[in-house]
């Protein structure tokens, strides 16, 4: 885009106003203004209840915008008011955030669960394969999910922005597809079957970008967004804690617990089905909670019928009626009527005694209370053309997001492979020569249960930092400065990882690494990587959200970010997986 060209907002306004003409049918100007982003809440009489503050992405950045994190300029009137400290309890619409958190939890739980035993499942497919081939297959298997996401994430973002589908349907499709993929992966008996089901899960899943979009639409005030966007990486760390432990404990139960499951034919035929069935149950629970409780945030579907919400209300009414009948059946001297309230809520007074009763006819599915109806007017009536999304700010932000995903995804893919790789045994006949400090080989040789424990350390460290360190430090440094400072921790962690194979162990090779020194070294390297990831990922998500030129393309932008990140997470594990296999 040339510098002399007006910004996207002005161009779109001129295009729309030129099409309207002076002899239009009396349509109000704000209905045709693409930049009308204010959401107004009204009651049944048309009275305004309260306005919703402006949010990120509601105003397009001007040419040469160098303030992607939204920090007020010295002349900005927002700088005059001192920011109040925001705590977790101050977040708005906590119920919806809880549903989104549970929805997000299921996915990292599934992914990290299978990583704890993937190396051993690949060995079970073909025990004759050397460890170098297994490492390469693990990289391909991990990359198949992200490669499929790269092909479809942008499409799911566009679908989530459409009035026909919306955000909620896309999330339900993603959860269902991942659940089917998980079950199929557990019952796979060859590498190609596992590859097919992993790819299926990636094709149907674009939930990360959609969930980020929903958070930005639920929490629209910037002062809350630092904590709100932290919920997704925090949930990821919770999944990292639970998933590897479940995977390590449930993988190959016939071999791990022969006294209990050794004689069961099912577990001997499908040794890795149990952890995948448990993961599928979590995905089903997340799908059910999203269907019943998650509210649509897309303005174009604000007035559409939501079958899940209606079903939840009917179930709640039925349970309430059952509880009321149970309460009335118990002996009681009577009920004391509640005092009438004059806060806009009309209550139906019910009296009861042992001798008399009053029955009221209430339509099925109706509520006992009538509350003020909140009508939401759309923040925008037109959509920004796709060609105008790629501003300079958007392009640079997506590029930075892709590079971050490249090395973070590669580490997550190869970390479990390194932990499972056998320890270097110098007494072995085919042992390669080592020339320290740069030419050496081997891994930690940990079994699945200990691999799960080592991976769960990632989650424990991450969630601790996110709860107690990140909010205050991010607020003090700002989004961009915080991101730049903690990116420096990544190369330090990556340089130290290979040297873990040289840490002294209490057991001689080829036994797995053990002893305090080994676990202290693992925790130290992970602390360095988790510190960097804890501060980098949420801030990068905020930058992606804030660089959106208009809210009508917010879902598309997050979909593109997920698509490019998936491409980076595909290339990274495959490329580095082959390099890892060559060094084993």
Do the domain assignments include residue 84?
no
Q: Is 332 exposed, middle or buried (0-12, 13-18, 19+ CB in 10 A)?
A: exposed
Do the domain assignments include residue 4?
no
Q: What is the pLDDT of residue 376?
A: 53
Q: What is the pLDDT of residue 338?
A: 52
- Between CA 340 and CA 367 the distance in angstroms is 17
Cα angle 279, 281, 283 (rounded to 5 degrees) comes to: 75
Decide: 460 and 241 in contact? Cβ < 8 Å: yes
Q: What is the pLDDT of residue 333?
A: 52
Task: Please tell me whether the peptide bond between 176 and the residue prior to it is cis, using omega within 30 degrees of 0.
Answer: no
Nearest to 465 by CA among 208, 169, 236: 236
Do the domain assignments include residue 280?
yes
- Between CA 17 and CA 132 the distance in angstroms is 63
Do the domain assignments include residue 23?
no
- Between CA 547 and CA 389 the distance in angstroms is 10
Q: Is the dihedral of CA 88, 92, 93, 97 positive or negative?
A: negative
Q: Tell me the pairing of strands 375-376 and 346-347.
A: unpaired
Written as six digits, the tokens of 372 are 């003020």
Alpha carbon distances (Å) from 172 to 52, 211, 288: 28, 11, 9
Nearest to 491 by CA among 517, 525, 523, 461: 525
Q: What is the pLDDT of residue 184?
A: 94
**35: helix, strand or coil:** coil
Q: Tell me the pairing of strands 40-42 and 369-370.
A: unpaired
Do the domain assignments include residue 476?
yes
Q: With DSSP H G I counted as helix, E B as strand and the rest as coil, what are the percentages for the chain, rounded to 5?
A: 65, 5, 35
Do the domain assignments include residue 2?
no
Alpha carbon distances (Å) from 197 to 173, 184, 441, 448, 565: 15, 6, 32, 22, 21
Do the domain assignments include residue 221?
yes
Q: Tell me the pairing of strands 346-347 and 48-51.
A: unpaired
Domain count, the chain: 1
Please tell me the number of Cα atoms within 13 Å of 445 on its side-chain side.
19
Cα angle 304, 306, 307 (rounded to 5 degrees) comes to: 140
Q: What are the b/e assignments for 101-118, b being 16+ CB within 10 Å? A: bbbbbbbbbbbbbbbbbb
Q: Is the dihedral of CA 235, 236, 237, 240 positive or negative?
A: positive
Alpha carbon distances (Å) from 112 to 242, 247, 272, 317: 9, 8, 14, 39
- SS3 of 53-68: the string is CCCCCCCCCCCCCCCC
Q: What is the pLDDT of residue 354?
A: 39
CATH number for the domain harbouring residue 199? 1.20.1250.20
Alpha carbon distances (Å) from 241 to 128, 411, 461: 32, 17, 10
Do the domain assignments include residue 100?
yes
Decide: 460 and 534 in contact? Cβ < 8 Å: no
Query: Going residue by residue through the chain (584 aa), what tens digit of pLDDT does each one get?
Result: 444 444 444 444 444 444 444 334 443 333 333 333 333 344 444 443 444 444 444 444 444 444 444 444 444 444 444 455 677 788 888 889 999 988 888 888 888 888 888 888 999 999 888 877 887 888 788 788 888 888 888 888 889 888 888 899 999 999 999 999 999 999 999 999 999 999 999 899 888 888 988 988 888 887 787 788 888 888 887 887 888 888 888 988 988 888 888 888 999 999 999 999 999 999 999 999 999 999 998 888 878 888 999 999 999 888 888 888 877 766 555 555 555 444 444 433 444 433 444 333 444 444 433 333 345 555 555 667 777 888 888 999 999 999 999 999 888 878 878 888 888 877 777 777 777 777 777 888 888 778 777 777 777 888 888 888 888 888 888 888 989 999 999 999 999 998 888 888 888 887 888 888 988 998 889 889 888 988 888 889 888 888 888 777 777 888 888 888 888 888 887 787 777 666 65
- Domain of 213 in residue numbering reads as 91-303+382-583
């Amino acid at each position: 885009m040339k510098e002399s060209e007006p910004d996207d907002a002005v161009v779109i306004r001129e295009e729309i106003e030129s099409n309207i003409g002076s002899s239009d049918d009396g349509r109000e100007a704000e209905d045709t203004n693409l930049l009308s982003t204010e959401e107004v809440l009204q009651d049944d009489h048309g009275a305004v209840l309260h306005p919703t503050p402006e949010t990120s992405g509601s105003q397009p950045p001007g040419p040469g915008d160098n303030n992607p994190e939204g920090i007020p300029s010295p002349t900005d009137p927002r700088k005059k008011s001192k920011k109040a400290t925001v705590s977790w309890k101050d977040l708005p619409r906590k119920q919806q955030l809880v549903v989104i958190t549970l929805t997000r939890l299921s996915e990292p739980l599934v992914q990290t669960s299978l990583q704890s035993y993937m190396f051993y499942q690949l060995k079970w497919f073909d025990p004759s394969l050397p460890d170098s081939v297994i490492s390469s297959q693990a990289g391909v298997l991990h990359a198949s999910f992200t490669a499929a996401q790269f092909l479809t994430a942008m499409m799911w973002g566009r679908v989530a922005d459409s009035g026909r589908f919306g955000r909620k349907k896309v999330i339900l499709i993603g959860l269902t597809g991942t659940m089917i993929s998980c079950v199929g992966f557990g019952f796979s008996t060859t590498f190609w079957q596992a590859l097919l089901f992993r790819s299926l899960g990636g094709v149907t899943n674009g939930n990360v970008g959609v969930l980020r979009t929903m958070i930005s639409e639920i929490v629209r005030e910037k002062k809350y967004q630092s904590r709100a966007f932290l919920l997704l990486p925090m949930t990821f760390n919770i999944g990292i804690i639970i998933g590897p432990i479940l995977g390590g404990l449930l993988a190959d139960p016939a071999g791990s617990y022969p006294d209990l499951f050794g004689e069961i034919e099912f577990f001997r035929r499908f040794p890795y089905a149990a952890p995948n069935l448990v993961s599928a149950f979590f995905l089903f629970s997340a799908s059910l909670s999203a269907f019943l409780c998650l509210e649509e945030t897309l303005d174009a579907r604000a007035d559409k019928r939501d079958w899940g919400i209606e079903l939840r209300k009917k179930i709640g009414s039925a349970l309430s009626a059952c509880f009321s009948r149970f309460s009335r059946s118990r002996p009681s001297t009577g009920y004391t009527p509640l005092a009438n309230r004059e806060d806009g809520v009309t209550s139906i007074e019910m009296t009861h005694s042992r001798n008399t009763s009053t029955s009221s006819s209430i339509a099925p599915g109706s509520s006992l209370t009538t509350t003020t109806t909140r009508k939401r007017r759309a923040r925008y009536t037109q959509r920004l053309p796709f060609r105008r999304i790629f501003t300079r700010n958007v392009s640079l932000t997506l590029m930075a997001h892709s590079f971050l995903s490249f090395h973070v995804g590669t580490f997550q893919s190869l970390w479990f492979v390194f932990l499972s790789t056998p320890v270097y045994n110098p007494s072995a006949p085919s042992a390669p020569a080592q020339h320290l400090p740069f030419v050496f080989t081997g891994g930690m040789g940990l079994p699945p249960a200990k691999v799960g424990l080592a991976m769960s350390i990632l989650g424990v460290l991450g969630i601790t930092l996110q709860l107690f360190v990140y909010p205050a430090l991010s607020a003090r440094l700002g989004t961009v400065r915080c991101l730049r400072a903690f990116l420096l921790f990544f190369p330090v962690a990556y340089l130290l990882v290979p040297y873990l194979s040289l840490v002294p162990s209490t057991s001689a090779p080829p036994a797995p690494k053990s002893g305090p020194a080994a676990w202290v070294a693992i925790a130290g390297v992970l602390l360095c990587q988790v510190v960097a990831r804890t501060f980098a990922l949420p801030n990068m998500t905020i930058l992606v959200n804030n660089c959106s030129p208009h809210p009508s393309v917010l879902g598309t932008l997050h979909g593109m970010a997920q698509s490019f990140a998936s491409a980076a997470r595909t290339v990274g594990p495959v490329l580095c997986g082959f390099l890892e296999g060559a060094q084993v």
